[in-house]
Amino acid sequence: MFDRWGRWTYRRRRPLLVASLAFLVVAAVWGTGVFGALTSSGGFDTPGSESGRAAATADRDLGRDEADVVVLYEAGGRTVDDPAFRTAVERAVAAVPKERIDAALTYWTAKAPQFVSQDRKATYAVLRLKGADEAARQDSFDAIKDGLTRTGGGLTAKVGGAMGTQTAINERVSSDIGRAEAMALPVLLVLLVLIFGGLVAASLPLLVGGLAILGSFTALHLLTYATDVSIFAVNITTFLGLGLAIDYGLFVVSRFREELARRDGDVEGALGATMATAGRTVAVSGVTVAVSLAGLLLFDQNFLRSMGYGGIATVFVCMAGALTVLPALLGVLGARVNALSLRRRRKNAPAPAHSKPSAQSTQSTPSAPSAESGWWGRVARSVMRRPVLYVVATVALLLVLGSPFLRINWGGVDAKALPASAEARVVADTLETRFPRNATSPIEAVVTGTGDRAALQAYADRLTAVPGVTDAAVTGAKGATTRIALRYDADPNSGAARTIVERVRDVPPPPGAVSQIGGETATVVDQLASVGATLPWLALTVGGATFALLFLAFGSLVLPLKAIVMNLLSLSATFGAVVLIFQDGHLSDLLGFTATGSISPQMPILMLAMLFGISMDYEVFLLSRVREQYDLTGDTTAAVTAGVQRTGAIITSAALLFIVVIGAFATSGVAFIKMTGVGMVIAIALDATVVRALLVPAAMRLLGRANWWAPGPLARVHRRYGIGESDAPARELEPVG
């Protein structure tokens, strides 16, 4: 099938390129309009959760009471008791256009002590923006934000709060993309030139990468017409698309150059063989990555669902580029793919050590001695001489690296995601360190079904008695709905704060009434509950689909299980490193961020979905070569040695290029984007070295013939429906055990 596809793309190469050019024009003009169509909110809330219902009930019955904007005021060392300080603040607040705000609270209007810093030299105003929805409130904020810091009378103002933080994060997300691409693309070009030894061949994966970026923007723009898509999807899909496109381009171009040399310039035959081997690997890998990302659609949070939709679309754009546009380009170029070479090419020179042999060539030399004599082959043979030692040592290393994950502390996404110098972050840090704790992030109890003041006061007293709660005050009451704000002596993102929420939820409401507990910390509690309930379904769905796909690719029940276990080991090590770096703060100075002491529950889930698929990319590439050699020789040790030798350099090159892409995005000024980038860099580095070079050969040596085992009925299923690559007949094994 793939051979026929390669020949078809050759015969239709010019129409395909014309269609691709038209798509690029549309993507460049219309697809880039995605930035104005994405939702500006993070999408981390859990729809239908208790905290979400509490907020919705309070907004409906009492009106919104959100601290949309917090403006921090100081007056050169004067205290709030100075009449001039009060006059300057009131003048500044009065200057805010009334058509843009619903309410403005200050220390003097609210008469609440939490509005004053402990040294009484700072205060803040809380502004509630006008707007029926998020977009309208964003427009209101955009209209007033510049004027909020224009003050007189020696007054200084800094803008923060939920909308100030959200806007600052969104602006950085947008600017990060252009900066990361400007950093990555020149480095990628240099590395590709070094890998391929020629400028034309090196430029092809980058062309596919550019197609992937614009294609992902177009796909996301289309998705915005069907569902809300978080603005953070742009960063994730951009570096995922660029990385995968370059990986796939590297696989295809390398194989095409090899096949072209073997076939004395027969371009159509070379494309057919390339698609039957590298193209098949790209297809299996792409579907595996897409299946892994599809698991994100099981979650309730819009952030994760957006990443799932965008990621799936991006993967298919990458596959389309690698399986359609790239073969068409290669068909037009033919032997000119080697033009502008930086090193002299010898006629009939042997294929590079990292290239993959075709089935035809390997049949003539089944043992492939030249392939086994390279550096990667020697590494594989060395590992397989001591398989138990390497399995024990590498598994122990990965488990030790993963152990910090056992003490992860979950938290929400707030202003701490910004650099310490960002204005919204300065406001948040000041409120935390100089003002009464949690003044703008209380736990809220929304009580419905009673207006009995005595019963409500008794309930508030019971809430105050909960260990950790320091104060309970009614902040809104209308008819049978009352909102009670609880202040507490704990970091909102700490385990202690989550325990307080759970205890507050256990307090019985007034007779005949219903109490719903919300607020920032309650939102995190609900996120954890939702993610925890969905995680087993993610494991079942993604694990089962991946297992089935790898079985169809390799005809074994053992290899898919081994691949999944090894991926989980690699991921555990990655998550442990993420905790050490981003929760505990190790390397924070080097990487340029401030550790928050907590990690949002959505981020490990996102990394799990992406990395599980990307790790399978290299697994499929390696096992395809091993299976091809095993079909020819029947010798597992020789097949693994040849497979590692023929893929070692190219997997390392692909991983290096992916690390460059991800590393550029890891420079993001938004902490959780940086964390995703750094985590992926660690995972890919571990996967391409420790796992692929050491653990896989050692494990396959120990398993021996069992690597290829499948029961008789399933073996027949594979023979009929399997996704074959090599023309060599697959070997059948007796059932083991």
Question: How far is Cα 540 from Cα 517, in angstroms, rounded to an integer?
Answer: 32
pLDDT of res. 133? 79
**What SS3 class is residue 117?**
coil
Q: Which residues of the chain have pLDDT under 70?
A: 40-42, 342-373, 724-737
pTM for the full model? 0.82
> Cα–chain-centroid distance for residue 240?
8
| Whole-number Cα distances in Å, 90 to 86, 95, 104, 153, 256 | 6, 9, 10, 11, 72
pLDDT of res. 731? 47
From the list 628, 612, 640, 660, the residue with the least C-alpha distance to 724 is 628
Question: How far is Cα 32 from Cα 175, in angstroms, rounded to an integer?
Answer: 14
Strands (E), 273-398: none
Buried b (16+ CB within 10 A) or exposed e, 677-687: bbbbbbbbebb
**What SS3 class is residue 205?**
helix
pLDDT of res. 256? 92
In which element (H, E) is residue 561 found? helix 558-578
- Non-local (6+) Cβ contacts of 623 within 8 A are 550, 553, 554, 559, 563, 643
Q: Tokens in use for 486?
A: 């609880």
Q: Tokens in use for 566?
A: 């090894």
pLDDT of res. 225? 86
Question: How far is Cα 527 from Cα 44, in angstroms, rounded to an integer?
Answer: 8
The one-letter code for the residue type at 425 is R
Question: How far is Cα 569 from Cα 28, in angstroms, rounded to an integer?
Answer: 40
Position of tokens 């090193």?
343
pLDDT of res. 372? 52
Longest dimension (CA), the chain: 95
| Whole-number Cα distances in Å, 127 to 73, 145, 542, 550 | 13, 11, 45, 55
Question: How far is Cα 418 from Cα 165, in angstroms, rounded to an integer?
Answer: 8
- Non-local (6+) Cβ contacts of 431 within 8 A are 70, 72, 124, 160, 439, 440
Question: How far is Cα 473 from Cα 535, in angstroms, rounded to an integer?
Answer: 37
Summarize pLDDT for 202-222 with one digit per residue, the tens: 899 888 888 888 888 898 888
DSSP string for 124-193? EEEEEE--SSHHHHHHHHHHHHHHHT---TT-EEEEEHHHHHHHHHHHHHHHHHHHHHHHHHHHHHHHHH
From the list 42, 46, 306, the residue with the least C-alpha distance to 173 is 42
**What SS3 class is residue 249?**
helix
Set out the domains of the chain in order of their start, with CATH numbers: 1-36+197-363 (1.20.1640.10), 67-167 (3.30.70), 420-525 (3.30.70.100)
Half-sphere exposure in the Cβ direction for 80 (13 Å, CA): 22
